[in-house]
Amino acid sequence: DAGGARARVRHVAFFLDDVHLSADSLQRVRKSVGQFVENDMGPNDSVLIATATGQLGFLQQFTDDKGVLRVALARLAYKPFIVRDSEQVPMTEYQAIKVDAGDRDAISQFAALLLAQTNPPATPVGVGPPAGGSIYSKPTGGQQIGMTREQAEHMVRERAQWIIKQTSDYSLGTLTALESLMRGSAEFPGRKLIFFISDGFYLNDRNTGFGDKLKQITDAALRAGVVIYSIDARGLVGDTDAGSNRSDSVGKLSRVNVGELSASQDPLNALAGDTGGRALLNSGQFDAALHSALEETSNYYRVAWKPEAEEQKGGAFKRVEVSVVGRPELTVRLPRGYMASLAAGLSDKAKSRTTAAAPVEKGSGAKDAVADLRGAITSAVPKRALPVTLSASFVDVPGSGPVLTSSVQVGTDSLDYGADGHQPAGIDIIGVVLNDQGKPAANFKTRLGVTPLPADATSAAERPGVIYNYRAPLAPGLYQIRAAARDAGGGQVGSATRWIEIPNLSKRQLSLSSLLLGGHQVGGAKAGDAPQVQFSVDRRFPRSTRLDFIAFIYNAARASGGGPVDLSVQVRVLRDGKPVVTAPARKLTPDATADLARIPFTGAVTLGQLPAGQYEIEIGVTDNLSKTSATQRVGFEIL
């Protein structure tokens, strides 16, 4: 149904073969992926951008945060494909493959070029017959000068093998990185769609192991629930560059190069076809290809099958075929096989994980508790045994600068309250703040005591869980917050991850703080103290309430002579990226005593007018003096 389709998380990965992408292709890919992120990525999408060389480092992970993906795209750099070859006449990788395969046109042409470069020209010394013999002499008394043709052909073959060795190492590195990504994604639930984007390369399986690697990738796709759609980033291409044929007077290399384009696309066809996807080639419509693949994979079947016969369990690669009974015109796309030799090892690992994931017995030692928390906080997939929600926000504080607040909310219903259910429980919480290089910038650790709720506290509003807030001043930049919590008595563990980008306010550009929702006063503030306000962590609100919000505006321009600001603000509520509530833009007039360095903007939205579901609220601010704008958006749920 529509509601279920919206709630389902879609995992989409863009794997950029930056080893084989030209500078122009990389720019096209950056633009197209950026358009997907801005226009097509939904609130339930989890997207990853990865490269064959791993140049994005810590940023190569699934995320629903568009800001992280923008930073990743901006950091993509062209990586030249360098092959060491000292000869003056270039030999392409495809030509080297043809030489290695024994193609006579390729071998003879490069041998002739080598002889022309190496052997000195013969010198005319006589008048020819009847003086006798050739008009050319052999100045060394009849001995051959330079190398023979046989020697030249041998050197050509050695040169081709050296080129193939280098290029094969690059290509195997690309395939190994792809397989690693696929096996790592097995932890995430549901189907994963990977776009493999490349300018193409060559599958020369003579002593390179390409065939075995493709089988391993197919096995990884089957076990991880991955389908690959490969895209030729060159778009509309016909013949490949024949500029290296300038020394080819009789057209030998032109004949050698026939089939070069199709050969470079063979890996793209194989990766897609063997994993149940499609190869999208020779099309200039990159964006259309993305949309087509997303539409095709939006619905799929899951089929389980267990090998029973011994011949299905042993040996190496086993092919799998699926057909629809009585419908021969239908084609079922799926991973085409599995590595039987890997099945036993993976089964043992699964049993080991099951044993490790078993509930921790009460009274387990401190070492077990530390190991549980560390395992949860480093896991790529959040742990769910204990409900944990994490929010991250920042505001600029006078005298302190940007301050990050990490709020951890832990559900208390499933805590161990002792045999009688009336004993206090304990929750251990740890967290770390990592910069965009994955290095720690701050960390926290605490234990919270929890008193059992009264038996008549039955509504969700009466069981909100407990919240721990950690505040830390930080420099501008992109940060990831990871937090984990553990029931000290029962041993259940939960974890969560959030990203946040803190702008550099010293650049004097119009900016917004985080958008804070559902603020309410907590605790008993002492006389003369400012009231303590707790904002919503899980951002879940009943329809019977209103959604209160606040944000701060920074670096608003002022009229000449320190005059007033001139700001316009508009609030929108969106669902599935489309506005469902749009308030008219209104002029913001700060109070005369307001701090114009940090102008607060507050408001409220009545939720009763909207059906239950997932939404986003967006605040857009326009500075009419500087002609600049800033936007902040955050998701919430109506119950």
Confidence of residue 142 (pLDDT cuts 50, 70, 90): low
Domain with CATH 2.60.40.10 in the chain: 364-502
Eight-state DSSP code of residue 286: H
Q: Which of 7-16, 141-150, 209-218 has the lowest average pLDDT?
A: 141-150
Tell which residue, 194, 264, 273, has the closest CA to residue 232. 264
Assign a CATH topology to domain 2-82+171-296.
Rossmann fold (3.40.50)
- Give the CATH number of domain 505-639: 2.60.40.3880
Tell which residue, 404, 410, 370, has the closest CA to residue 495. 410
Q: What distances in angstroms separate CA 398 from CA 238, 378, 402, 505, 596, one per listed residue?
A: 62, 34, 9, 13, 12
Sequence-distant contacts of 561-568: CB under 8 A, at least 24 apart? 564/590, 565/590, 565/596, 565/599, 565/623, 565/625, 566/623, 566/624, 566/625, 567/599, 567/621, 567/622, 567/623, 567/624, 568/621, 568/622, 568/624
pLDDT at 113 over 70: yes
User: DSSP for 189-210?
Assistant: SS-EEEEEEES------SSS-H
Q: What does the pLDDT average to over 597-607?
A: 93
Q: What does the pLDDT average to over 429-446?
A: 96
CB-based burial label for 320 (10 Å; 0-12, 13-18, 19+): middle
CB-based burial label for 94 (10 Å; 0-12, 13-18, 19+): buried
Domain with CATH 3.40.50.410 in the chain: 2-82+171-296
Q: What does the pLDDT average to over 218-235?
A: 90
Query: Mean pLDDT across the chain, nearest whole number?
Result: 84
Residues 146 and 119 sit within 8 Å (Cβ to Cβ):
yes
Residue written as token pair 């052997």? 119
Residue written as token pair 């940023």? 59
Tell which residue, 17, 15, 36, has the closest CA to residue 25. 17
Tell which residue, 67, 349, 299, has the closest CA to residue 183. 349
Confidence of residue 42 (pLDDT cuts 50, 70, 90): confident
Looking at per-residue confidence, does 387 or 122 come out higher? 387
Q: Which pLDDT value is given to residue 529?
A: 64
pLDDT at 531 over 80: no
Q: What does the block give as tokens for 374?
A: 């560390």
Contacts of 458 (CB under 8 A, 6+ apart): none
What are φ and ψ of residue 428, in 5° steps? Answer: -95, 130
Return the number of other C-beta atoms located less than 10 Å from residue 476's C-beta: 15
Q: Which pLDDT value is given to residue 516?
A: 97
Q: Which of 110-124, 203-217, 237-251, 538-552 has the lowest average pLDDT?
A: 237-251
Looking at per-residue confidence, does 399 or 6 come out higher? 399
Residues 635 and 547 sit within 8 Å (Cβ to Cβ):
no
Confidence of residue 27 (pLDDT cuts 50, 70, 90): very high
Quick one: angle between helices 93-100 and 104-118, nearest 10? 110
Sequence-distant contacts of 379-385: CB under 8 A, at least 24 apart? 379/187, 379/495, 380/61, 380/62, 380/184, 380/187, 380/188, 381/187, 381/188, 382/494, 382/495, 382/496, 382/497, 383/484, 383/493, 383/494, 383/495, 384/494, 385/492, 385/493, 385/494
Q: What does the block give as tokens for 457?
A: 């506290």
Measured distance CA(127)–CA(144) in Å, rounded: 22
Collapsed DSSP state (helix, strand, coil) of residue 513: coil
Q: What does the block give as tokens for 566?
A: 């001139």
Contacts of 621 (CB under 8 A, 6+ apart): 510, 512, 553, 567, 568, 569, 588, 601, 629, 630, 631
Q: Which pLDDT value is given to residue 309?
A: 78
**Model confidence, pTM:** 0.84
Measured distance CA(229)–CA(232) in Å, rounded: 10
Measured distance CA(622)–CA(602) in Å, rounded: 16
pLDDT digits (tens, 9 = 90+) for 483-509: 999 999 999 999 999 999 999 999 999
Q: Which pLDDT value is given to residue 426?
A: 94
Residues 512 and 554 sit within 8 Å (Cβ to Cβ):
yes
Q: Right CATH number for 364-502 from 3.40.50.80, 2.60.40.10, 1.10.1740.10, 1.20.1290.10?
A: 2.60.40.10
Strands 401-410 and 388-397: antiparallel
Tell which residue, 543, 538, 552, has the closest CA to residue 636. 538
What are φ and ψ of residue 216, in 5° steps? Answer: -65, -40
CB-based burial label for 141 (10 Å; 0-12, 13-18, 19+): exposed
Residue written as token pair 């832990």? 410
Measured distance CA(359)–CA(550) in Å, rounded: 42
Per cent of the chain over pLDDT 90 is 53
Residues 233 and 268 sit within 8 Å (Cβ to Cβ):
no
pLDDT at 332 over 50: yes
Peptide bond into 129 cis (omega under 30): no
User: DSSP for 402-425?
Assistant: EEEEEEEEE--TTS---TTS-S-E
Contacts of 58 (CB under 8 A, 6+ apart): 434, 436, 437, 438, 480
Measured distance CA(190)–CA(203) in Å, rounded: 31
Return the number of other C-beta atoms located less than 10 Å from residue 160's C-beta: 23
Distance of CA 115 to the CA centre of its chain: 50
pLDDT digits (tens, 9 = 90+) for 452-465: 877 665 555 556 78
Q: What does the block give as tokens for 103?
A: 């193609």
Radius of gyration of the chain (CA): 32
CB-based burial label for 47 (10 Å; 0-12, 13-18, 19+): buried
pLDDT at 249 over 70: no
Q: Which pLDDT value is given to residue 305?
A: 79
Tell which residue, 9, 25, 12, has the closest CA to residue 76. 25
Measured distance CA(71)–CA(349) in Å, rounded: 36
Q: What does the pLDDT average to over 418-440?
A: 93
Residues 430 and 408 sit within 8 Å (Cβ to Cβ):
no
Q: Which pLDDT value is given to residue 356?
A: 45
Helices (H), 321-423: 340-356, 366-378
Looking at per-residue confidence, does 128 or 208 come out higher? 208
HSE, side-chain direction, 13 A CA sphere, residue 438? 7
Q: Which pLDDT value is given to residue 343?
A: 58
Domain with CATH 2.60.40.3880 in the chain: 505-639
For the chain, how many residues are written?
639
